[in-house]
Amino acid sequence: MTGRLFGVGLGPGDPELVTVKAARLIGAADVVAFHAAQHGRSVARAVAAPYLREGQIEELLIYPVTTETTDHPGGYQGAIDEFYETAAARLAAHLDAGRTVVVLAEGDPFFYGSYMHMHKRLARRYPTEVVPGVTSVSGAAAAVGRPLVERDEVLTVLPGTLGADKLTEWLATTDSAAVLKLGRTFPEVREAFDRAGVLDRAIYVERASTDRQRTMPLADVDPASVPYFSLALLPSPLTDATVAPYRPAAGEGHVGEVVVVGLGPGARSWTTPEAADALACADVLIGYGPYLDRVAVNPRQERFPSDNRVEADRAAHALELAQAGRRVAVVSSGDPGIFAMAAAVLEVAERPEFAGILVRIVPGLTAAQAVAAKVGAPLGHDFCVLSLSDVLKPWDVVVDRLRHAAAADLVIALYNPRSKHRPHQLGEAQKVLLESRSPDTVVVVGRDVGGPKEQLIVTSLGDLDPETVDMRCLLLIGSSQTRVSPAGRVYSPRTYPG
C-alpha cells in the first residue's frame, strides 16, 4: 500500500481562511511538507500552525536559490529543477512507506504555487488530491473592498516578471488585472501601469488578510518597501473609486431610504422573497407592534413598535432616520398600499424637509386575496374594496360608497369592519346592503387567516351576526351571482348576465 499525496491550499494568509477540509487533512497527515527560502522561515507553515498536531513528520523544503544568480552548471533553471527532483524523491520515500503526505501551498496549489512542481513529478505515481484555497487575488480584492470584474468584463492575471513592455500591452487592453510577484519587479510593474494610462486606478496590496496587511494607491508606494508577498490590482472600471467599502454612519450626509414592506396577511410563507430581502437589508424596523412581532428578531437591527393610530408620526420617524443615513423598513400587514402605511409615508415624504429621500413600496399578499383563496374564488368577477373605518373619512361618505357599490352589484371586500370604538357600524352597513341585496347574498367572514387562530365562516347577508365580527376579520360580500358549490366552494362566475 502506498501513501496518498495531498496538495493543500491555505489561502492568502489568515489562518481562518483555511478551508475546513484543508484543516482536517493537515491535522490527519503523517507528513507535512512546506517550502521556504534560505532563511528557513515558512509562511505556509505559519498559516497552518493552528492545525498541526504533535508527532507529525515535517519536511522543510528550502529553495537553493531565490534569484537567477547562481553558480550551478545549469544556471538558475538547472538549480531549481534539481531541487524539485530531490524534494519529490524525499516525499516519494514517505509515500512508498504508506504515509499520508500533505504539501502546504499559500493561496491555491495550482495558482503560481510551488506545489505544482511536486504534483507534476508525483501525481502519476501515487493517489493524489488537490484541495483548492482562496487565492491572493481574492484576498486582495476583499482587503480593499473593490470588485475585480462584473458582468462581461475580463480579468487578466499577470506575473510581475513579464517585464514592462509586455505588462503595458496587457494592462492597456484588459478591463481588470492583478499583477503578482512584485518585490524586486515593482519598478517595472509601476512603469507599466503608468505607460498603460491606468496608474491612477491601481491599488497596492501587501500581505492581504494578515495582521501585517497594507493597502494604498500604487502610485504612492516606495519601491524599497515592497515584499514578494504583495500584488497590484486594477479593479473594475465599473466600480467608481469613490465608492466606500463601508456603510456610512448616521450624520455623514448620506441619505438613506425608506422601504414600506407588506408582510402578507399572516403565514410566513405568504411573505414574498422581495419583502423578506427588504426586511433583511434594513438597519431599522418600524411598525405597529403586533406586525413587528411577526418579523424575526435580528440583534443588528433597531426596532420601533408603536400604536396603530399614529401612522403619520411613524412615517415621519422613518423618514428622519433615513435622512440620517439609515435603511428603514416600515412594516405593514397584507399589502402596504391597501389601507396601510404606504400612503401615510408618501404623504409625509412630501414635506420639504424630507425632499430627496427615496421611498420604495414592496407589495404584499392582501387579506382579501387570502380569505378569497381559502374559500374558493369569490373575487372571480368585478369587485371593490372598502374600509368601514370613519377615523379618516366621514361615516356618511362610507355609507354613500357602500350604497353605490351594493347597487352596482359588485363583490365587496370590507376592511376594518368593527372595532371596540365602532361597534354599531357593521350593523348599519348590513342594513344599507340589504336595501339592494337579497338576504341570501353569500357572505364570507375570515378571521386571522394565515394565523394560528384562523377561522372561516360562510353565511348569508341576512344571517350575518355583527356581534361575531371584530378587527381581526375581513368580510367578503358576494354579488347576486356569487354562489356556493355542492362541494362548499364559494366563487363568482366570470360571466355576468346582461
Percentage of residues in the chain having pLDDT higher than 70: 96
pLDDT band at 420 (very low <50, low <70, confident <90, very high): confident
pLDDT at residue 174 in the model: 95
- Mean pLDDT value across the chain: 90
Question: What b/e sequence results for 144-171 when a residue is b if at least 16 CB atoms lie within 10 Å of its CB, and e otherwise?
Answer: bebebbeeeeebebbebbbebeebbebb
Q: How far is CA 1 from the centre of its chain?
A: 48
The CATH classification number of 368-491 equals: 3.30.950.10
pLDDT at 252 over 70: no
pLDDT at residue 242 in the model: 45
CATH 3.30.950.10 range(s) for the chain read: 137-234, 368-491
pLDDT at residue 310 in the model: 86
pLDDT digit string, tens, across residues 117-139: 999 999 999 999 999 999 999 99
CATH 3.40.1010.10 range(s) for the chain read: 5-133, 257-362
Task: Please determine, looking at this structure, whether the domain spanning 5-133 carries the CATH number 3.30.43.10.
Answer: no
CATH topology of domain 137-234: 3.30.950
pLDDT digit string, tens, across residues 450-475: 888 899 999 999 999 999 998 889 99
Q: How many CA atoms lie within 13 A of 206 on its CB side?
A: 17
pLDDT digit string, tens, across residues 270-322: 888 889 888 988 899 999 999 999 998 888 899 999 887 788 999 999 999 99
3.40.50.720, 3.40.50.280, 3.10.105.10, 3.40.1010.10: CATH of 257-362? 3.40.1010.10
Give the span between the Cα atoms of 294 and 259, in whole angstroms.
Answer: 17
Can you read off the three cell numbers belonging to residue 57? Answer: 513528520
pLDDT at 150 over 70: yes
Distances (CA, A) of 91 to 42, 102, 117, 130: 18, 10, 12, 16
What's the whole-model pTM score?
0.54
Give me the mean pLDDT over the 207-231 stretch: 91
pLDDT digit string, tens, across residues 7-29: 999 999 999 999 999 999 999 99
pLDDT band at 246 (very low <50, low <70, confident <90, very high): very low
Can you read off the three cell numbers belonging to residue 288? Answer: 405597529
pLDDT digit string, tens, across residues 51-90: 999 999 999 999 887 666 677 777 878 888 999 999 999 9
pLDDT digit string, tens, across residues 386-413: 999 888 899 999 999 999 999 999 999 9
Cβ-based neighbour number of residue 210 at 10 Å: 19
pLDDT at residue 175 in the model: 93
> Are the beta carbons of 257 and 328 closer than 8 angstroms?
yes
